[in-house]
Each structure stands twice: as structure tokens, then as C-alpha cells.
Amino acid sequence: MQYLEELNEVQRQAVTHMEGPALVVAGPGSGKTRVLTYRIAHLIDRGIPPHNIMALTFTNKAAREMKERIERITGPKAYNVWAGTFHSIFARILRREAEIIGYPSSFTIYDTDDSKSLLKSILNDLHLSKDQYNINTLRARISSAKTNLITPRLYEKNEELMAQDRAAKRPHFHKIYSEYVARCKRSGAMDFDDLLYRLYELLQKSPETADKYRKRFPFLLIDEFQDTNFLQYQITKKFVHYPGSQRNILVVGDDAQSIYAFRGATIQNILDFQKDFKPYGVKLYKLEKNYRSTEHIVQAANQIITYNKRQIPKTIQSVRGAGNKIKLIKAMTDNEEGKRVVDAIVEQKNRLHLRNRDIAILYRTNAQSRIFEENLRQHNIPYRVFGGLSFYQRKEVKDLIAYFRLAINPQDDEALRRVINYPKRGIGKTTLDKISAQAAADQQTLWQTIPKMSFAPRTQNALDGFVALINNFRQTALEENAYKAALHIARRSGIMQQLKNDTSIEGLSRMENINSLLDGISEFIAQDEDNEEKDLSLAAYIQNIALLTDLDQNLPEDDDFVTLMSVHAAKGLEFPSVFVVGLEEQLFPSFMAMDSPEGIEEERRLFYVAITRSESYLTISYALSRYRYGQMRYNDPSRFLLEIDPQHIEGAAQPMANLNAQNTSRAGVRGNFKRAAGKLKTPIKVPQDFRPSPSAAIQAGMEVLHLQFGKGKVLAIDGARDKRVATIFFHQLKEQKRIMLKFAKLQILS
């Protein structure tokens, strides 16, 4: 057990914890991954079979690194540990058990575009307006319903939800939701939410199956527990709550880095874990030694997070010494901010001999990247912006993958719609609309419907040819490995020839993307061809890429470029030098969170994440004015800057004096309300018949009246139940405010 000597005392205690529930609160750079991997290695070393251990992560990269580290200690048997993302592990279980809940084992996994396409088809078939029923809103609402375990039937019986829909002028949402679920099932398809939702259904409906996997995995580990949502926690409890269980669950996370509420994550899971498992003797371990950042950076982070009320108290200490103080850049405009930040990068490269890849610029919104890109280009500094279009979202890649999906599951309506006439084969929109209408009437898939219909000879020949082509691909996918099947499909489908015929620069680029996709499949085969148990089929490859997540940031190691990305995208990464830009009220913290205490706390956690990405050099910048939405805006410096002790800021006296002079509003939400109210030129005349409307009735698009701010228009609503928050543009203020509806007193005007 020589590996235990590499751990500090608290890390060792967590790693050697054998039985019962445990919570490891891991500060930034505190060796969280080491604790997880060494614990698994220790379990194996103590005689626990690797296949009895399940480790759930949020990125494929984290799972891969975990297995590689375990292998270095235990040898190749580490690969028998079930380690992967929630979605990949749950998909693996569902592949084996899907038939119990009425799905084929070859079910398709729908991505965002597939879901949108399906919703558009449903709106068309139900003769509903795409303007009234916004596709993104529908997707978000369906996702929220599934995450909260609300089935279409339960949704329709919930009067509060139905009232919200009527007030928002989308009274038929429940029909759309019901039809969406039904069509996914008919097509043998699951969206990303279904990989959780349907696993919960499987465990709930089949006690025998639940017992099988409980016995199979007596040891459960979860990484980044602060990022779990309600449904993930419910599934977790299903795995460990049963008679006679020792509840051998260890979760690792940091409440101070919970920043994904907009994706449904809830900080409450990690805050409640000790209470939920208290009857079973839960142990708490705090990893408070930071091995990544220097002392000035760590102490600044400590000070900032103390302003949050909802947290698990801890004090992080750096083991790297004091290091450099934080630099603060004040600019008059956003253009000047871009210039001064890039000038500072040039200085670091020359004076400190940093490489481009040692440097990152982090911002609150992706739109901020433009100014920094322009200035980097002027200095001929290579850079890369992360968060753009994913490789797998490019049209030509999605087209070929749609053929792969049909070869595995011909019932996949969205894949069939995409390629039935690509490359063109004479099957037009009118023909497809007729097939779709008949399929909807018969409650069958397009593939089941095509043989039952008759068309003019030319169209019929095209349809017969398409069916024969897909059947040929199905047979090839069954007989050949992923690469041979993919190459055959790419050639026979006509996609490769079509792209070869396009000799433009764009056409050549698209052809390169197809070749890159095929290269990736070849690599998938090569990595595992010596493993007799490994599934090398096209179906296995499709599942592998379908489960790639945007949280898997892979920064190439052979390129030298400055990294530009949002703070959300930077979580889990680290750089010698970090520039956190745009620290202004209304931007960071975002105006979307200004009127919600929970929102401000999440923004503060986001800032905490941003500054703890830095190892040695941290620079924070802000501008007194910037163009936003086509207008010049003047904002105060962010409240978060004043939460840093001046002793950690270079030349602190003058910068901090400037900040105090520019921003004296430190009373949180109340201060924002007072400043907003003070902007009103004339006081609000409150009508005598003012009556606050029920919060559940307030929806996007409505005109409302507020006692302090006057009339406003509700631009958007997010959150669920008692956590619904409205973004409202108040006409007299000429600005947007975020108000939690639970506490708001708003009267609906229209």
C-alpha cells in the first residue's frame, strides 16, 4: 500500500474509509481526483472485485483519467470498474434491460437537434404556432418535468402547472409533452433526460432488476456531487437505500463550486447529504490543502465565498507559498479593457516567459470574446475560443451519423427525416409530409409506414431504393466492425461522392470533417481490438459519441494558443495565468441574478471558480462603460471586488480606493432595489384597486405592475415551483430586473 504514503492525513482517511456513507468536501486543487482514484484502488487492494464498484462522473475525460490512474496502481483489472458519466453508465444498464420498460436494446439517443426536429413535427401535426410555442421553451419545460419525475399524465393532473401554461398562452403544452414522449418511445429513442428518467422508471417498476444492480454494485462513488440534479440524487438513493445495505456510498464535491443551476443542478443535494445519511453514521472529510494556487489567490477565494450563507464552512490553505499578488485592471471602456488585457499578456510572455497555452481569458458571457479576439489578432497572438460549434454538430457529420443510426435502428424517425432525400433521390417534402401524416394517424414510425403507401412510379422507385439501401446498411452493421461498416455506408450513401464533387474551400473542409470522423472510428477500433470482450460494433461507437458532453473540455497539448472561454466552461481546468474579465455589476454578477439572493450566491460561486483556475498569476479587469445590446451602458465595478481584502491586490491602496468611490452600494438586493427606485423621475401612482396576482399565473409576455418600479413586461421566466424567477423590463427604469415570484407583488395588467 505504498500509494497511501502519497496522501496527506485527511486524504488518507477518506481513501481508507471502507464502510458506510461518506462526504468528501474538496476545495479547489485539493487532490479530489487522487482521493477518488486511490479509494477505488484501495477497495480493490482490500479484495473488493472491480466489477462491484461503480464510479459516476460528469465528464468522459474524468472517467478516463480515473481508470488510467487506478491501472497504474492495480494493473489492467482496473478496467473492470464501472466508471463513467451518469449518462454513459445508465445507458449501459438500459442497453441490457431496456426491454423491461418497452424499449429495444438498440435504442437511439437523441441530441438537441433531434429533439427540436421532433417538436417541430409535433407542432406541425397539431397545427400549433411555432411563435406561440417556442421550441427552446418546450424543450426546457419537458426537461424540467422529467427531472422532477412528472410524467405527462401527472402533468395534466397538476392544476398549478396547467394554470401556468394557460397564463403563458400555451394551453396545449401537455399534449405536446405527451406526444413527444409517445413518439420517442415509438421510434425507440431516448433523449439525454430519458437516460436518467427511464433508468429511474426501470428501478421503480422492476424490483428484481433494482436488486440485481444493488447487489452488483455494493460500492458507489460520485464525483462533483454539487452538480447533481434532483433526479440523479433520487437514482443514487435507489442504488443504496435497501434493507440490509451498509450504504457504502462516498460522494466528493465542493458546494462552493456549484454553478450549474441553469442546467437543473441543485446545491441542496450536497448540503442535505449529511442530514439524509445521518442515521447510517455518515462521515465528513474536508480537503482543505490547495496544491494548485498560491496563497494570495487562495485567500482571496476564501474571503469571497464567506459572503454566501448556504455553504459547508471550510478554510482552504495553499501549500505553495504567498506567490504574486492579484493584479487589477481598470478601464474606461470595454475596448480599452481588451487592449490592456492583451498588453498584459504580451508583458507576461516577454517578462515571465509564459507560453500562450499557459494563459486563459475567462468571461461571464461568450459575447465578450470579440474584443479580446481583435486585440490578440493585432498582436499576432494565436488563440482559440472554446464553446463554439461542436465537431459532432456540423451538418455533414450529422448527416453521415444519421445513416449510421438508421443502420442500427431504422425506427429512428429523426434520422430518417434527415437523410431520406440526402443526397437527393427524388423524395420531396410533399411525399415526406404524406408519410408523416399517415404515420401519426396510425401511431407508427415512418419506417413502418413507408411499405404501406403507394406513390407515383418515380417516387415509389426512390422510396424502394432507399429502403433497400438502409436494409443493406443494417446487414453490414451486424456483420462488420464499426470502421468497415462506417466506410461502406459513407461510400454507398453517396455522401462522400457528393462532397468530393464540391471543390470549394467549404466543400474541401466538409470532406476533411468526414475523413476525420472515419479516422475517429478507426481509432475506436484500434484502441480495443485486442480486448475480446470489447464491443467494436457500429452501435457501440454511436453510443460512445452520443454520450460526449460539452463539459469534456479537451485542450490539445501540441498547440500553443491563448485560451478564451466562459467561466462555466473552464470549471475543472487550470492555467498558470488567468485573466478574469468584465467584473461589473449587471455583467458579473449577471443582471439575470440581481434580484435573487440564491442567484447572487451562485454568481459568487462562479467568481470563486474563475479565480481558482489560476495557479500563479491572476489578473482581474473591469470597464466603467461597455456596449451591450447596441447601447452604451455604465456599470459599477462588481460587488465581488470589494469582498477581496486589499492586502491580496497589487498596489492595493489606490485601486481599492477607486473601487470604493465608484461602488458604495454594498447592501445586496436591497441596495439594487434602492438604486433602481431612485432612478424613477416621478413616483409610482399605485391604483386603489391594486391586487397582487397569484405568482403561478405570471408568465413571459405579460404586462405587470410593481409597487416600486411601475409597469413592466415579463421577458422570461426560469426555475420551477417556488423558485420561479421573472426577468422583467420596467419601462420607466429603462432596464431589466430579476425578481423571485415567490416574494414579488405583481399585478397582471394584460
Which pLDDT score, from 0 to 100, does residue 666 have? 37
Distance from the first to the final alpha carbon of the chain: 70
**How far is residue 226's CA from residue 214's CA, in Å, rounded to a whole number?**
23
Quick one: cell of 252? 466528493
**How far is residue 486's CA from residue 256's CA, in Å, rounded to a whole number?**
45
SS (H, E, C) 483-547: HHHHHHHHHHCCHHHHHHHCCCHHHHHHHHHHHHHHHHHHHHHHHHCCCCCCCCCHHHHHHHHHC
Which pLDDT score, from 0 to 100, does residue 63 have? 84
**How far is residue 598's CA from residue 612's CA, in Å, rounded to a whole number?**
21
Q: For residue range 236-257, list pLDDT tens digits in order.
A: 999 998 777 778 999 999 999 9
- Indicate the SS3 state at residue 576: strand
3-state helix, strand, coil in the chain (%, to 5): 55, 15, 30
Which pLDDT score, from 0 to 100, does residue 149 have? 93
**Cell 412510379 sits on residue:** 457
β-strands 703-706, 746-748: how paired? antiparallel
Higher pLDDT, 402 or 664: 402
| Residue 160 predicted with pLDDT over 60 | yes
| Residue 674 predicted with pLDDT over 60 | no
Reported confidence tier of residue 408, pLDDT bands at 50, 70, 90: very high
Which pLDDT score, from 0 to 100, does residue 546 have? 80
Which residues are part of the catalytic machinery? 32-33, 223-224, 257, 613
Which pLDDT score, from 0 to 100, does residue 591 have? 84
Query: E strand or H helix at 415, and its extent?
Result: helix 413-419
Which pLDDT score, from 0 to 100, does residue 390 have? 61
What are the phi and psi torsion angles at 692 (to 5°)? -60, 135
Q: Residues 396-421: what's their mean pLDDT? A: 94
**How far is residue 648's CA from residue 642's CA, in Å, rounded to a whole number?**
12
- Indicate the SS3 state at residue 205: helix
Which pLDDT score, from 0 to 100, does residue 679 have? 47
By the 8 A CB rule, do 86 and 225 touch? no
215: burial class by Cβ within 10 Å (0-12, 13-18, 19+)?
A: exposed
Q: Residues 272-287: what's their mean pLDDT? A: 94
* Mean pLDDT rounded to a whole number for the chain: 88
Q: Residues 547-556: what's their mean pLDDT? A: 57
β-strands 735-740, 725-730: how paired? antiparallel
| Residue 65 predicted with pLDDT over 90 | no
**How far is residue 44's CA from residue 41's CA, in Å, rounded to a whole number?**
5
Which pLDDT score, from 0 to 100, does residue 511 have? 87
Q: Specify the DSSP class assigned to residue 163.
A: H
User: Which of 266-275, 557-566, 694-703 holds the top average pLDDT?
Assistant: 266-275
**How far is residue 116's CA from residue 134's CA, in Å, rounded to a whole number?**
10
Quick one: cell of 717? 421566466
Q: For residue range 576-594, list pLDDT tens digits in order.
A: 999 999 999 989 998 888 8
Which pLDDT score, from 0 to 100, does residue 416 have? 96
β-strands 53-57, 82-85: how paired? parallel
Which pLDDT score, from 0 to 100, does residue 657 have? 54
Higher pLDDT, 692 or 301: 301
Higher pLDDT, 552 or 123: 123
Q: Residues 528-535: what's their mean pLDDT? A: 60
Q: Residues 289-297: what's their mean pLDDT? A: 96
| Residue 516 predicted with pLDDT over 70 | yes
DSSP codes joined into one string, 302-365: HHHHTT-SSS-----EESS-S-PPBEEEEESSHHHHHHHHHHHHHHHHHHS---GGGEEEEESS
Which pLDDT score, from 0 to 100, does residue 606 have? 97
Which pLDDT score, from 0 to 100, does residue 672 have? 42
**How far is residue 312's CA from residue 379's CA, in Å, rounded to a whole number?**
45
Reported confidence tier of residue 388, pLDDT bands at 50, 70, 90: low
Kindly report the length of the chain: 750
Q: Residues 40-48: what's their mean pLDDT? A: 93
Higher pLDDT, 362 or 535: 362
| Residue 324 predicted with pLDDT over 70 | yes
Q: For residue range 465-506, list pLDDT tens digits in order.
A: 999 999 999 999 999 999 999 999 999 999 998 888 887 777
**Cell 481490438 sits on residue:** 529
By the 8 A CB rule, do 337 and 581 touch? yes
By the 8 A CB rule, do 83 and 57 touch? yes
User: Which of 130-144, 664-678, 719-733, 735-749 holds the top average pLDDT?
Assistant: 130-144
What are the phi and psi torsion angles at 734 (to 5°)? 60, 40
Which pLDDT score, from 0 to 100, does residue 257 have? 95
**Cell 453508465 sits on residue:** 89
Q: Specify the DSSP class assigned to residue 251.
A: E
Strands (E), 635-724: 703-706, 710-718
Residues of the chain above pLDDT 70, percent: 91
Which pLDDT score, from 0 to 100, does residue 678 have? 46
By the 8 A CB rule, do 223 and 69 touch? no
Which pLDDT score, from 0 to 100, does residue 749 have? 85
By the 8 A CB rule, do 693 and 748 touch? yes
By the 8 A CB rule, do 580 and 566 touch? no
By the 8 A CB rule, do 577 and 616 touch? yes
Quick one: cell of 206? 422492476
Q: Specify the DSSP class assigned to residue 257.
A: G
By the 8 A CB rule, do 355 and 560 touch? yes
Residue 323, Ramachandran bin (φ over 0: left; ψ between -120 and 50: alpha; else beta): left
Which pLDDT score, from 0 to 100, does residue 596 have? 80
Which pLDDT score, from 0 to 100, does residue 353 have? 95
> Alpha carbon of 492 to those of 18, 359, 404, 472: distances in Å?
55, 46, 12, 10
Q: Residues 562-577: what's their mean pLDDT? A: 94
Which pLDDT score, from 0 to 100, does residue 302 have? 95
By the 8 A CB rule, do 482 and 535 touch? no
Residues of the chain above pLDDT 90, percent: 63
- Count of C-beta atoms within a 10 Å radius of residue 115: 22
| Residue 680 predicted with pLDDT over 50 | no
Higher pLDDT, 433 or 667: 433
Which pLDDT score, from 0 to 100, does residue 389 have? 54
Reported confidence tier of residue 629, pLDDT bands at 50, 70, 90: low
| Residue 199 predicted with pLDDT over 90 | yes
**How far is residue 21's CA from residue 245's CA, in Å, rounded to a whole number?**
11
**How far is residue 653's CA from residue 647's CA, in Å, rounded to a whole number?**
9
